[in-house]
Each structure stands twice: as structure tokens, then as C-alpha cells.
Amino acid sequence: MSEPKRIPQHVAIIMDGNGRWAGLHGKERYEGHAAGVEPVRASLRAAVRWGVKYLTLYAFSTENWGRPAAEVDALMELFCRSVVSETPELKRQGVRIAMIGDRSRFSEKVRHYLAEAERETAGGERLTLILALNYSSRSEITRAVQHLVREAAEGRLQADQITEQTIAGALDTAAYPDPDLIVRTSGEQRLSNFLLWQASYAELWFPEVLWPDFTEADFDRAMEEYARRDRRFGLVK
């Protein structure tokens, strides 16, 4: 009997290539972002089918605020529309929506829709969809350090009590396991300020496909690639 395939508990995706896809197809950049909604659905279907428990999507980085205002506005509107339209189906599928990142910079409208989606899907137990919004790893770690400094200043934490576990517990991702597999589409081979602390022992895969062209079959290939990896976690086997 063949060994059962190893399934990652947590898959994280850097959804890269929307702008290049739009350029290749003679479209505006916001149309590339809109075309990236279906691959999110496909990834969710595949993740549920494989039994993945956590799927994190790098949806909007802190650096993305530096893009043209019209593009940022279009992204915010797309996010709101998508959350409203997709939440009922996600709830039906048993998918829980969560967010990492600093939501304070978003408009009241965006914060409202996100909070509603989190509330509506809170009972989901099949898969947790973690949206990284206004997120960057350096910002996350900075906020975690600021929190620990405040704890120390108020006498609730001593220097020798600060451990890797203490820091991890102050991160946005404290409630979730570290990613087992990180996928970045478009062929670019870097993490771009995404889950730098959590990615210490993650497997990395960089397919050439642009995000709007990413399909369930591509997700399946990521899973097959993960199954072939020999994870040592710094040890010798």
C-alpha cells in the first residue's frame, strides 16, 4: 500500500501578476485585479477538497498604498463587492474569514464589511480563510515589539520572559499555525515582506503562471510539489 500524501495544514499565497496580466491582455490594471477573484474561488475549492485547514492570501500590502489613488480606490471597491457577494457561499461551505494586518487605515466602509464577514462566518470549521490586508511582516513585527515594550513598561513582562513563543504570541498570526507551504505566482522568487517570521521552515513554490490564470489544477500542482519535499526543520534525517 502506498503511503498517504502529506497535506499541508496551512497554505499561504502571494497573488502576484494581476498588473502584468492586464498589460498582456490590453486591459486596465483594475481589470487585472477583478480577474483575480475567480482564482481565489478556485483556490478555496481546491483547499477544501485537499483538506487544508488554513489558507492565507496576501491581498493588500502596506506598500500598496503607494500605488496610484485610482488603483487603490478600485481595489477597495472590489474588496467590498467581493466580501458582500462571496460571504454567503463561504458560510455555506463552512469557511471562516479572518484578517491579519492593520485595519485602522481602511475606511469605515471597508472595516464594516470586513467585520460583518468575520461575524457571519465565525462558525465555519472546515477552513479558515485569512486575508492579509494592509499587511507587511515588518509592520507586524514592529507592532508586536511595541506591544511587548508596553507590557514591560507596565511591569507585566520581564526581559528574560521574552522568548520566541512570547513574540509569536504577539503577532497577528498568534491564533494560527505557521504556513507549511508558501506559493508566489508570476515566477517572482521573493517573499516581499510576507510572513517573514512565520516562514522560517515553510516550503516555497514559485510557479510562472500569473495570478488571474491560476486554476484548481495549479493548486493541485502545488500540493503535489509539497508532497515531494523532504521537510527536515533544520534536523538530519
Tell me the C-alpha distance between 126 and 142, whole Å. 32
**Closest CA relative to residue 23, chosen from 186, 232, 222:** 186
Count other C-beta atoms under 10 Å from residue 24's C-beta.
13
Half-sphere exposure of 93 (CA within 13 A, CB side): 20
Instruction: Examine the residue annotation and report whether 16 is marked as an active-site residue of this protein.
Output: yes
Count other C-beta atoms under 10 Å from residue 200's C-beta.
12
Q: Which of 18, 64, 73, 134 is catalytic?
A: 64
Let me know: does 206 contact 184? Beta carbons within 8 Å. Answer: yes
Q: What stretch of H or E contains 54?
A: strand 54-61
Q: Which of 16, 172, 213, 218 is catalytic?
A: 16
Buried b (16+ CB within 10 A) or exposed e, 110-144: beebbeebbebbeebeebbbbbbbbbbbebbbeeb
DSSP codes, 121-138? TTT--SEEEEEEEEE-HH
Give the catalytic positions in this structure. 16, 64
